[in-house]
């Protein structure tokens, strides 16, 4: 996902090449998943003839101020990107749109031609971005709910240290929190804003540079560690912007370059990178340098989707598995035939030959995997298969037939006497 450096690089490019110019032509994609709350024709009509006065950003949100409202606003989603024809904006590897592709790109959601011939386009191949029209972007959600911007509104060191000391969340979970959080200080409810603009890769990088484990409880960090983290946040963002957020030019000693490699093949400065889930996101870190001090915070547990999309943390997996086993045991007991009488026949669904995909689904239904990929709560040993059940049923039928035949033979003998 584009984070503060990528979005800021886009903002700076617009400021340099588009500000002060009038929009001559506009083309808005007919894609309601991305174009939010307005029809393409109304969107286009609100742009043509307007002049771009400035470009603004807060966190990972960008908007253009025109000579009159409403103003176009952008959230980049997973693969959103700004393109200016003939201008290298940023080399964001997930934008999925190359400079030599057709123009405007078939993935363009917002395209404007300016009066001097410059073309500006916002593309999104994966369609997780949002583009909308707002009368005053900073005053309405989601922008109004963001905490202070990590670059434009850096938190003072003493405030940063004090705020971390009041949070028992994993430090990475806290860094990823983009909105203002309510905390209670001296029995008075007040707003304590957290940082906006820090996403997954920036959080991993600043924690690696500060030598802090991503699962470390924020409240347990020493003042020295807090000061180092505060410094690293500024340094990582500034260094990324020095190269225009071009990831290929990031420093070689950054964990960024290897954080998407497979486990066992990811290294930085010769040290192996490990991967865990923190706050529902994958975290890359170096255990040799980033030591976890004390117990992991309880709120750190990663979420998993099980049983039709329900989310449950790691602590709840064992409980769920044990309940599943109890239910299975109870069901098996109910299915056993009564000793003095015939059991009711139940319809059984026939199983077709299972493919690899159905095998995986079956494993997900009966077992959960832990963070190391091991199965938790596997199928109960000795459980009878469908074939075994059919054989048991056929044996019961045979014994029943023998009993009926013996009774019939007995009656015939009595009549003969």
Q: Which two tokens stand for residue 286?
A: 């170096």
Report in angstroms the alpha-carbon separations of 74 from 181, 272, 372: 24, 37, 38
Number of Cβ atoms within 10 Å of the Cβ of 315: 9
The residue annotated as part of the active site, out of 50, 58, 60, 125, is 60
For residue 183, the cross-strand partners are: 190
Where does 235-384 show beta strands of DSSP type E?
267-268, 271-272, 274-278, 281-285, 303-306, 310-313, 368-369, 375-376
Q: Which two tokens stand for residue 359?
A: 């095998």
Question: What are the two backbone dihedrals, phi and then psi, of residue 329, each rounded to the nearest 5 degrees?
Answer: -65, -45
DSSP assignment of 193-254: ---BS--HHHHHHHHHHTT--TTSBGGG--HHHHHHHHHHHHHHHHHHHHTTT-GGGS-TT-
Q: Is 233 exposed, middle or buried (0-12, 13-18, 19+ CB in 10 A)?
A: buried
Q: Is 95 exposed, middle or buried (0-12, 13-18, 19+ CB in 10 A)?
A: buried
119, 85 contact by CB (below 8 A): yes
Three-state SS for 276?
strand
60 given a catalytic annotation: yes
Close Cβ partners of 111 (under 8 Å, ≥ 6 residues apart): 26, 27, 28, 104, 119, 120, 121, 122
Alpha helices, DSSP H only, in 115-222? Answer: 157-165, 171-176, 200-209
Using the CB atoms, write b or e for 162-180: b if 16+ within 10 Å: ebbeebebbbbbbbbbbee
For residue 26, the cross-strand partners are: 112
321, 377 contact by CB (below 8 A): yes
The residue annotated as part of the active site, out of 2, 104, 148, 214, is 2
Three-state SS for 188?
strand
- What letter would DSSP give residue 24? E
Close Cβ partners of 99 (under 8 Å, ≥ 6 residues apart): 83, 88
Judging by DSSP bridges, how do beta strands 310-313 and 303-306 pair with one another?
antiparallel
- Catalytic residue IDs: 2-3, 60
């Amino acid at each position: 996902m584009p984070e503060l450096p990528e979005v800021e690089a886009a903002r700076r490019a617009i400021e340099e090449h588009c500000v002060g110019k009038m929009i001559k032509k506009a083309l808005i994609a007919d894609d309601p998943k991305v174009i939010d709350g307005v029809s393409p024709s109304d969107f286009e009509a609100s742009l043509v003839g307007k002049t771009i006065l400035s470009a603004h950003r807060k966190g990972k949100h960008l908007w253009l101020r025109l000579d009159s409202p409403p103003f176009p606003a952008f959230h980049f989603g997973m693969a959103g990107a700004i393109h200016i024809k003939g201008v290298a904006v940023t080399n964001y590897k997930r934008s999925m749109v190359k400079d030599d592709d057709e123009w405007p790109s078939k993935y363009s959601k917002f395209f404007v031609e300016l009066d001097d011939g410059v073309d500006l386009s916002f593309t999104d191949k994966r369609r997780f971005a949002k583009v909308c029209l707002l009368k005053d972007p900073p005053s309405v959600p989601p922008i109004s709910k963001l905490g202070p911007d990590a670059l434009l509104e850096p938190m003072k060191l003493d405030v940063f240290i004090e705020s971390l000391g009041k949070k028992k969340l994993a430090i990475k979970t806290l860094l990823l929190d983009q909105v203002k959080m309510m905390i209670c200080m001296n029995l008075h409810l007040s707003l304590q804003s957290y940082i906006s603009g820090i996403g997954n890769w920036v959080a991993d990088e600043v924690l690696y540079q500060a030598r802090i484990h991503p699962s470390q409880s924020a409240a347990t960090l020493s003042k020295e560690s807090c000061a180092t983290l505060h410094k690293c946040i500024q340094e990582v963002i500034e260094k990324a912007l020095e190269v225009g957020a071009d990831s290929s030019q990031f420093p070689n000693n950054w964990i960024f370059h290897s954080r998407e490699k497979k486990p066992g093949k990811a290294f930085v400065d010769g040290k192996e990178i490990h991967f865990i889930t923190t706050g529902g996101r994958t975290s890359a870190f170096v255990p040799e340098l980033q030591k976890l001090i004390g117990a992991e915070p309880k709120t750190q547990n990663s979420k998993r989707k099980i049983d039709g999309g329900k989310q449950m943390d790691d602590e709840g997996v064992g409980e769920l598995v044990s309940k599943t086993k109890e239910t299975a045991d109870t069901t098996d007991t109910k299915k056993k035939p009564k000793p003095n009488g015939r059991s009711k026949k139940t319809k059984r669904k026939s199983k077709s030959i299972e493919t690899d995909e159905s095998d995986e689904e079956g494993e997900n239904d009966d077992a959960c995997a832990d963070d190391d990929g091991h199965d938790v709560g596997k199928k109960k040993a000795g459980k009878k298969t469908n074939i075994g059940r059919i054989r048991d049923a056929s044996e019961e039928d045979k014994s029943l037939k023998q009993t009926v035949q013996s009774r019939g033979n007995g009656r015939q003998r009595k009549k003969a006497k």
